[in-house]
Chain A
Amino acid sequence: MSAPLLSTHGLQAFYGDFQALFGIDFEVAAGEVVALIGANGAGKSTLLNAIMGAIRVAPDMVRLDGAPTGGAAPHVMVAKGVGIVPEGRRLFTGMSVEDNLRVAIDHSAGGNDAWTLERVYALFPILKDKRRDLVQSLSGGQQQMVAVARALLNQPRVLLCDEISLGLAPKVINEIYAAIPSISDAGTAIVLVEQDVGLAKKASDRLYCMLEGKVTLTGKSADVSREDISAAYFGAGHAVA
Chain B
Amino acid sequence: MTASISASGDLPAVTVRRQTLSGTVAIIIGIALLVGLVAMPWWAGQGTIRSVVELCCYIAIAQMWNLLAGYGGLVSVGQQAFSGVAAYMMFALAQNLGLNPFLAVPLCLIAPAILAVPTYALLHRLDGPYFAIGTWVVAEVVRLLTTNFSYVNAGAGMSLRVMTQYSAHERAIGVTLLCALMLLVTVGGTYWLLRSRYGLALTAMRDNPVSAASQGVNVPRLRFLIFVAAAVGTGLAGAIYFMAQLRITPEAAYGPQWATVAIFIVMIGGIGSIEGVLIGALIYFFADRWFGEFGATYLVVLGVLTLLVALFARGGLWGLVNKVVDAPWFPTRRILVSGGGE
Asked if chains A and B come from one complex, the reply is yes
A56 within 8 A of B: no
Could you give, for residues 233-276 of chain B, a 1 whenever the CB lies within 8 Å of some chain A CB and a 0 otherwise?
A: 00000000000000000000000000000000000000000000
Contacts of B10 in A (CB 8 A): 118, 122
Q: Which residues of B contact A90 (CB under 8 A)?
A: 208, 210-211, 214
B220 interface contact, C-beta 8 A: yes
Within 8 A of B (CB), among A114-163: 116-118, 121-122, 128, 131-132, 150-151, 154
Contacts of A91 in B (CB 8 A): 207-208, 211
- Bound state CA distance, A90 and B212, in angstroms? 9
Least Cβ distance of B209 to chain A in Å? 10
B11 touches A128 (CB 8 A): yes
At the interface, yes or no: B333 with Cβ under 8 Å from chain A?
A: yes
Query: What string of 1s and 0s marks CB contacts (under 8 Å) between B178-220 and chain A?
Result: 0000000000000000000100110110111011111111111
Given known contacts A94-B203, A94-B206, A99-B200, A78 and B216 CB-to-CB distance under 8 angstroms:
yes
What residues of B have a CB within 8 angstroms of the CB of A95 in the complex? 200, 203-204, 207
B8 within 8 A of A: yes
Interface string of B298-333 (1 = CB under 8 A from A): 000000000000000000000000000000000001
B207, B215, B335: the one contacting A107 at CB < 8 Å is: B215
Q: A92-B204, A96-B333, A98-B336 are in contact. Are A54 and B211 (CB under 8 A)?
A: no
A222 CB → nearest B CB, Å: 32
* Residues in B whose Cβ lies below 8 Å from that of A102: 200, 334
Count residues of B near A (Cβ-Cβ below 8 Å).
28
Chain B residue nearest in CB terms to A98: B336
Q: How far is the CA of A109 from the CA of B216 in the complex (A)?
A: 8
Beyond A94-B203, A118-B10, is A131–B336 a contact (Cβ under 8 Å)? yes
Closest to A134 in B: B333
CA distance A97 to B270 in the complex (A): 24
Residues of chain B within 8 A of A54, CB atoms compared = 210, 213-214
With a cutoff of 8 Å between Cβ atoms, the chain A residues found around residue B336 in the complex are 96, 98, 131-132
- For B219, what are the chain A residues with a Cβ–Cβ distance below 8 Å? 75
B214 is contacted by which of A52, A116, A131 (Cβ under 8 Å)?
A52
Given A75, A86, A99, A103, which contacts B218 in the complex, CB threshold below 8 Å?
A75
CB-CB under 8 A from A79, the residues of chain B are 216
Query: Quick check: is A104 within 8 A (CB to CB) of the other chain?
Result: yes
Tell me if B9 and A92 are in contact (CB < 8 A). Answer: no
Identify the closest chain A residue to B197 (Cβ): A106
Instruction: Select which of B8, B212, B215 is within 8 A of A118 by beta carbon.
Output: B8
Residues of B within 8 A of A94 (CB): 203, 206-207
- What 0/1 readout, one digit per residue, does chain A (52-68) give for beta carbons within 8 Å of chain B? 10100000000000000
Please tell me if B1 contacts chain A, counting CB pairs below 8 Å.
no
Please measure, in the bound complex, the distance between the C-alpha atom of A93 and the C-alpha atom of B204, giving whole angstroms: 9
Q: With the chains together, A75 CA to B197 CA distance in Å?
A: 17
B residues engaging A (CB < 8 A)? 7-11, 197, 200-201, 203-204, 206-208, 210-220, 333-336
19 contacts between A and B (CB under 8 A): A54-B210, A54-B214, A73-B213, A75-B216, A78-B214, A86-B210, A90-B208, A90-B214, A91-B207, A92-B207, A95-B200, A96-B334, A99-B203, A103-B204, A103-B215, A103-B217, A104-B216, A107-B217, A154-B215
The 8 A-B residue pairs whose C-beta atoms are closest, nearest first, are: A107-B216, A90-B211, A78-B216, A92-B207, A118-B9, A74-B213, A75-B218, A103-B204
Given A93-B208, A118-B8, A154-B215, 14 more contacts at CB 8 Å? A54-B213, A73-B213, A73-B218, A74-B216, A86-B210, A92-B211, A94-B203, A103-B212, A107-B201, A121-B11, A122-B10, A131-B336, A132-B335, A132-B336
